[in-house]
Structure 1
Amino acid sequence: MPKFAANLSLMYNEYEFLDRFAAAARDGFTAVEFLFPYGFIAGEIKARLRDSELTQVLFNCPPGDWAAGERGIASLPGREEEFKRSIERALGYAQVLGNTRLHVMAGLLQYGQDRGRHLEVYLHNLAYAAQQAAAHGVTVLIEPINTRDMPGYLLNTQEEAHAICREVGAPNLKVQFDLYHCQIVEGDVAMTMRRDIAGIGHMQIAGVPERNEPDTGELHYPYLFGLMDELGYDGWVGCEYRPKAGTSEGLGWFRKVMSNKY
């Protein structure tokens, strides 16, 4: 049976952020992930994790100016020093929160910009991030994101992400396999998972195409959950979806999985 982590950036928005930890624990989750912790003191979040007996499994490194539309800086020429500082900041939070996975967002490629130059910067920055993270026992993740939700994002396909990991050659650089993004961009989710399982460091799920609960839409998750077990995937599966109504009310799928009735 997969191990599920509630994504507190998309789920439990009925509550203030720091109150979402207890809400997730009440519903039976034992782990959480979220996009960014930087608006809070790390110790505040750690206290909520401790009080709710939750494991922190993942968050993102600083993405640049998110409010202004930036979606990562790892591939942006001229931002290398800022990127180094962002890795240092993320690792500082990870040391307090206890997670061993950090997602580094690539950034957007604007029309007319040199993709080759962006890839060169991306590879260099990922090598740096992996080296720094290795000293803390942390795995760096990169995630292909679909072009509908995030137009212009540098990294879109699983094959390209795994090729980048191979080129960097760091054992602690892995791919974050979001089944939702994969289905939208490429399809053939099950065979892609089989092909790439050795390089996958984290998985995430959502219904396709609306990004609601995983028991909605075109993907058949009971089969995919079974495939995760068959392939021996023992990492966490992040529930990065937008609940259709209330979060707790939409967890019928989760209760079925946990009771082996899915």
Structure 2
Amino acid sequence: MRLSANLGFLWADRPLPMAIRAAKSAGFDAVECHWPFDVPASEVAAALTETGLPMLGLNTRRGQPGENGLAALPGRTTEARAAVDEALAYADAIGAANVHVMAGFAAGPEAEKAFVETLGYACEQAGDRTILIEPLNHYDAPGYFLQTTTQAEAIMDQVSAPNLKLMFDCYHVQLMEGDVSNRLERLLPLIGHVQVAAAPDRGTPDHGELCYSHIWQVLDRIGWAAPVGAEYKPGGDTDLTLSWMAAARGDRD
């Protein structure tokens, strides 16, 4: 089992280059982040080179305070495209393979039209990089445009770009739709990244409603080979929450 540390949550109390080094020391195989833009890309790239860890991906900016992305906001096309350009440029500078384009708080046909158009632009600009979209649950992100994998499938059909993929976060999917094992298998051709956390508390992936010993086996059976992103809230010192890693790897080694 290969694992990626999501540094938006893990070691979030440290500067990003230090968090990358901490992830290496903890035995992670890769890292990913949320919004690294305040850190010079050269510093992040240096830490990645030093540790040998790949950076799997980052998010587009949220927008103004209280917003959670721009891509599905009608009338905000210029800002949404600028956010895409910024994220792709940063990804290029640090060698990140994926950019998650955040939809934002919106609803209705005009929001869908805006999202499809922005995603089409992002996919055209991405080159050999992958554009990700992620359904978010309506408890943590009430009013977020993209909430289910079913909705994501419909959006992806409209965009019809080979480099547009689904970020399948088991935590969000469990809270909104359930049936995580079958959805992983059915949606495998559309999935670009998998993330894990306990449901419903978003803690370490070793308790709660989801049986992760089973999820690891499902991922193995369907042939998922990329690192799985640990995007959980440690609730304190990250280093004290990592015992689940040995169990996850032991289930599949």
- For this structure pair, what is the TM-score category when the shorter chain's length is used for normalisation? over 0.9
Q: Name the residue aligned to 1:210.
A: 201
Q: Would you say the 8 A contact 2:122–2:131 is kept in 1?
A: yes
Identity %: 38
Q: Would you say the 8 A contact 1:127–1:170 is kept in 2?
A: yes
* Residues 180-203 of structure 1: per-residue CA shift (max 9 Å, x gap): 000001111111111111101101
Is 1:92 the equivalent of 2:89? Answer: yes
Inter-CA distance 82–216: structure 2 relative to 1 (3 Å threshold): same
Q: Would you say the 8 A contact 1:75–1:106 is kept in 2?
A: yes
Inter-CA distance 156–44: structure 2 relative to 1 (3 Å threshold): same
Q: Name the residue aligned to 2:243.
A: 252
* Residues 40-60 of structure 1: per-residue CA shift (max 9 Å, x gap): 111011111112221100110
In structure 1, distance between residues paired with 2:20 and 2:234: 16
Task: Note the C-alpha offset of 1:15.
Answer: 2.9
TM-score (norm 1): 0.92
Task: Note the C-alpha offset of 1:159.
Answer: 0.9
Task: Note the C-alpha offset of 1:154.
Answer: 0.4
Q: Name the residue aligned to 1:64.
A: 63
Which letter maps to 2:12? N
Q: Name the residue aligned to 2:162.
A: 171
Which letter maps to 2:43? E
* Residues 206-244 of structure 1: per-residue CA shift (max 9 Å, x gap): 011110100021110111111111111222311000114
Unaligned runs of 5+ in 1: none
In structure 2, distance between residues paired with 1:213 and 1:41: 30
Q: Would you say the 8 A contact 1:138–1:172 is kept in 2?
A: yes
Which among 133, 142, 147 is matched to residue 138 of structure 2? 147
After the TM superposition, which residues 1-262 of structure 1 pair with which residues of structure 2 at under 5 Å, given as runs? 1=1, 3-65=2-64, 68-109=65-106, 115-133=108-126, 135=127, 137-260=128-251
Which letter maps to 2:234? P
* Residues 57-98 of structure 1: per-residue CA shift (max 9 Å, x gap): 011012212xx1110000111111112211211111111111
In structure 1, distance between residues paired with 2:24 and 2:174: 29
In structure 2, distance between residues paired with 1:187 and 1:26: 34
Task: Note the C-alpha offset of 1:258.
Answer: 3.0
Q: Would you say the 8 A contact 2:171–2:197 is kept in 1?
A: yes
In structure 1, distance between residues paired with 2:51 and 2:188: 31
TM-score (norm 2): 0.96
How many residue pairs are counted as aligned between the two chains? 253
RMSD: 1.5
Unaligned runs of 5+ in 2: none
Inter-CA distance 108–14: structure 2 relative to 1 (3 Å threshold): closer
